[in-house]
Chain A
Amino acid sequence: MISRRQFCRKALLIAGGVALPLAALELFDPKRLRAEKSSKGDRRWVFLVDTHKCVGCGFCVKACKIENDVPYDAKVSRTWVERYVIKKNGETLIDSPNAARDGFTTTRIDQNLAGMLDVRDEEIAKAFFVPKLCNQCDHPPCVQVCPVGATYQTADGVVLVDRKWCIGCGYCIMGCPYGVRFFHPLYHVAEKCTFCYHRLAKGMNSVCVDACPFGARRIGNLRDPEDPVTKIITTERVNVLKEQYGTNPQVFYLGLTMEVK
């Protein structure tokens, strides 16, 4: 007869004995190691937005729409700028008229159906602009929910949409917590910011980065420790949007406050 203690000990021993070689295999499997190493790659595109520098001119939105063939007058955009006006009484007002394609040229705040809201200068406690674009998340929920494999992430971290394969179900649009996706008015498939993948491929910057006169938008390679953007991200206090969704977003913000949605 075998005692309970003996049984436990033996069971543990056997389990451990079995697990050990398995674990060793896992660790030293050269194929797996190589795969992991190569999948890391030498490039991971990330974005840095400095909200302190943004003036809300909207040149980024204009350039983006033209560069990426998003119809200029369509009320959708791959990137946009939001204005936050926080009043002294604690009320937060936000707008992004026409995705800020023409910038912010008035103090009145567009509340859509609720009309234009006039805020007197002395009522304002703080006000600032926040540019938005696709976060190219490390765990993109939009890619996870695509039923046909039409949207995917490249090795360098950019999420793209295959216009020839997308069925236009809209699940990815629903799955994105940041609202960056929409249906392209001409191609009738899901559309999103690509960090200007065609420009990156030619060694250029995303067009919004080039269009921004104030350096509020910057793109960099997280795998390059010498990259100035990487240096800021790793050494300064940066934040990301809606990290509670577990998406691991890769657009980093300087000067993000709690009011930002």
Chain B
Amino acid sequence: MVHGEIWTLKELFVYPNEYIYWSIQIVMYPFMTGLVAGAFVLSSLYHVFGVKQLKEIARFSLVFSLALLPCAPLPLLLHLQQPLRNHHVLMTSHFTSAIAAFGIVFMTYGMIVASELWFVYRGHFVARALALKQKGSGSADRLACGLYTLLTLGAWDVGDAALHSDEKAVKFLAAAGIPVACFLHGYAGFIFGSVKANALWMTPLMPVIFICSAIVSGIALCILSFIVVSRLRIIINNWKIKNKFGTPAVVEMKDAELTIVTQTSRYLLIFLVLAITLELLDLIFRGYTAVKSWEIIRRVIYERDFVKIFILQYGLGNLLPFILFLLPRLTIRRAVAGTLLVLLGVFMMRWNVVIGGQAFSASFAGFMEYHIPIIPVSMETFREGLFGALFVAGMPYVLFLLFSRIMPVFDLKKFGSS
């Protein structure tokens, strides 16, 4: 069976070699990078621009952005026909290709996020290491002590001057990270926008559209995860109090949570408006100029993909959450619904670009339909099917759980550091 044959249905005339080669994982890739970029930009709004209201969510989104980071190249890896050769991209980069710089940009970005986190948590690492050293008797303690000692990188100075320089470094990295985050994602847009063979993808607006929707989805996911995590903490705490188990933490009131969500959602709205404006501009421009490819693109947009584009993406994914967030007296429940819809909208936008761009033949004389493999009967149907996508989508939470054990996002004061 030829790669792509399982999930591609052809109609009318399609070149014999044309299949939907870029499937669900390539939808996941810009979606995940978008989340990384968005989460980072959100945390930078506090660190660089000093948006005080975002203080609580800033640390959270920074750790979350680190958890999302390894999941951005994961879909690419799953989609490669030769995944074991992925290092060739770094070894013999061909910079005339939009993909070639991925490794370098991605590593740079990863380095920035990791360093920023190191500066944010260095005081905490030192405190933990010292505490464990005094206490340390069990092998688990010694292991943890070793880990924290390693994480301090030998920088034990937690004097005011040292911590102050940490803060300065955080500010610098957060600022340097914004353009890199935007580049990382705008560049994912460039990968599509520069394919001149694809009439739907080829537009210089693509990178900008991608950045805006990336920030939208990143903020949405941060708000959502923030609500979920803080709710979970309340539940766990209540359970602890009830069963007199361990030491319950002092949980901030719900009001504080709502203020954070309300304030963050404002930034979400700004970028949402920007993203929709650009997307509509692109659509109107295509219809107005109506070049050769418009006839087939029109049939894809207005006929074949109408539900996916106008109902799911613009209607449910953009308009409805827009109204939900704009209505006065935002509630947590409405915020959850809104962010979920926004995430759906951005995901559908990626889908409509990636799959929609392959919904018509390069001959402009036929159509292709994508049928996502649901049940993973083979490696291929897992990798490029529903479960592969779910695997990628679930990965950040596993990593976040792991990372937040070492770098707690709440109650940092308890450990006596900033």
Asked whether any CB of A lies within 8 Å of a CB of B in the complex, the reply is yes
Q: Shortest distance in angstroms between A159's beta carbon and chain B's nearest beta carbon?
A: 14
**For A111, what are the chain B residues with a Cβ–Cβ distance below 8 Å?**
11-13
Inter-subunit contact A113/B92 (CB<8 Å): no
Inter-subunit contact B102/A147 (CB<8 Å): yes
The residue of chain B having its C-beta at the shortest distance from the C-beta of A152 within the complex is B94
B2 at the interface (CB under 8 A from A): yes
**For chain A residues 152-181, which have a beta carbon within 8 Å of chain B?**
165-171, 173-181
A76 at the interface (CB under 8 A from B): yes
Q: Shortest distance in angstroms between A93's beta carbon and chain B's nearest beta carbon?
A: 8
**For A179, what are the chain B residues with a Cβ–Cβ distance below 8 Å?**
15-18, 361-363
B196 at the interface (CB under 8 A from A): yes
**For chain B residues 107-129, which have a beta carbon within 8 Å of chain A?**
none
Inter-subunit contact A147/B97 (CB<8 Å): yes
* Given A166-B82, A245-B196, A261-B13, residue A144 in contact with residue B97 (CB < 8 A): yes
**For B11, what are the chain A residues with a Cβ–Cβ distance below 8 Å?**
111-114
The residue of chain A having its C-beta at the shortest distance from the C-beta of B292 within the complex is A244
**C-alpha gap A179/B20 in the complex (Å):** 12
* Given A75-B5, A144-B96, A147-B94, residue A188 in contact with residue B82 (CB < 8 A): yes
B307 at the interface (CB under 8 A from A): no
Q: Which of B83-91, B131-139, B141-149, B239-247 contacts A (4 or more CB under 8 A)?
A: B83-91
Q: Which of A28-36, A94-102, A219-227 contacts B (4 or more CB under 8 A)?
A: A94-102
Interface centre among B5, B194, B195 (most CB of A within 10 A): B195
Q: Shortest distance in angstroms between B297's beta carbon and chain A's nearest beta carbon?
A: 15
Inter-subunit contact B197/A177 (CB<8 Å): yes
Q: Shortest distance in angstroms between B290's beta carbon and chain A's nearest beta carbon?
A: 15
**For B99, what are the chain A residues with a Cβ–Cβ distance below 8 Å?**
145, 147, 169, 171
Inter-subunit contact A245/B365 (CB<8 Å): no
B80 at the interface (CB under 8 A from A): yes
Inter-subunit contact B94/A146 (CB<8 Å): yes
Q: How many interface residues does chain B have, given as a range?
A: 35 or more
**For chain B residues 274-303, which have a beta carbon within 8 Å of chain A?**
none
**For B83, what are the chain A residues with a Cβ–Cβ distance below 8 Å?**
167
B364 at the interface (CB under 8 A from A): yes
Inter-subunit contact B81/A168 (CB<8 Å): yes
Inter-subunit contact B81/A170 (CB<8 Å): yes
Q: Number of A interface residues, CB 8 Å?
A: 50
**C-alpha gap A183/B365 in the complex (Å):** 23
Question: What is the interface of chain A mostly: helix, strand, loop, or mixed?
Answer: loop
Inter-subunit contact A188/B366 (CB<8 Å): no
**For B12, what are the chain A residues with a Cβ–Cβ distance below 8 Å?**
94, 111-114
Question: What is the interface of chain B mostly: helix, strand, loop, or mixed?
Answer: loop
The residue of chain A having its C-beta at the shortest distance from the C-beta of B95 within the complex is A147
A185 at the interface (CB under 8 A from B): yes
Inter-subunit contact B21/A170 (CB<8 Å): yes
**For A93, what are the chain B residues with a Cβ–Cβ distance below 8 Å?**
13
B9 at the interface (CB under 8 A from A): yes
**For A189, what are the chain B residues with a Cβ–Cβ distance below 8 Å?**
81-82
Inter-subunit contact B82/A178 (CB<8 Å): no
Q: Looking at the complex, which one of B1, B16, B369 makes contact with A99 (CB distance below 8 Å)?
A: B16
A74 at the interface (CB under 8 A from B): yes
Q: Shortest distance in angstroms between A147's beta carbon and chain B's nearest beta carbon?
A: 4
Write the B1-38 contact mask toward A (1 if CB under 8 angstroms, else 0).
11111000111111111110110000000000000000
B47 at the interface (CB under 8 A from A): no
Inter-subunit contact A148/B92 (CB<8 Å): yes
Q: Looking at the complex, which one of B9, B16, B197 makes contact with A245 (CB distance below 8 Å)?
A: B197
The residue of chain A having its C-beta at the shortest distance from the C-beta of B199 within the complex is A177
Inter-subunit contact A261/B197 (CB<8 Å): no
The residue of chain B having its C-beta at the shortest distance from the C-beta of A74 within the complex is B2
**C-alpha gap A93/B13 in the complex (Å):** 8
**C-alpha gap A9/B298 in the complex (Å):** 55
B203 at the interface (CB under 8 A from A): no
**For A148, what are the chain B residues with a Cβ–Cβ distance below 8 Å?**
85, 88-89, 91-94, 100
Inter-subunit contact B79/A141 (CB<8 Å): no
Q: Shortest distance in angstroms between B72's beta carbon and chain A's nearest beta carbon?
A: 15
Interface residues in chain B, defined as those with a beta carbon under 8 Å from any beta carbon in chain A: 1-5, 9-19, 21-22, 76, 79-83, 85-86, 88-89, 91-94, 96-100, 102, 191, 194-198, 361-366, 369
**Interface pairs (23), CB distance under 8 Å:** A92-B365, A94-B363, A95-B13, A112-B10, A114-B11, A147-B98, A148-B92, A166-B81, A167-B80, A167-B82, A169-B79, A170-B21, A174-B198, A176-B197, A178-B15, A179-B16, A179-B361, A181-B17, A182-B19, A183-B4, A183-B81, A188-B82, A246-B196
Give the 3 A-B residue pairs with the shortest CB-CB distance, closest first: A168-B81, A179-B15, A261-B363
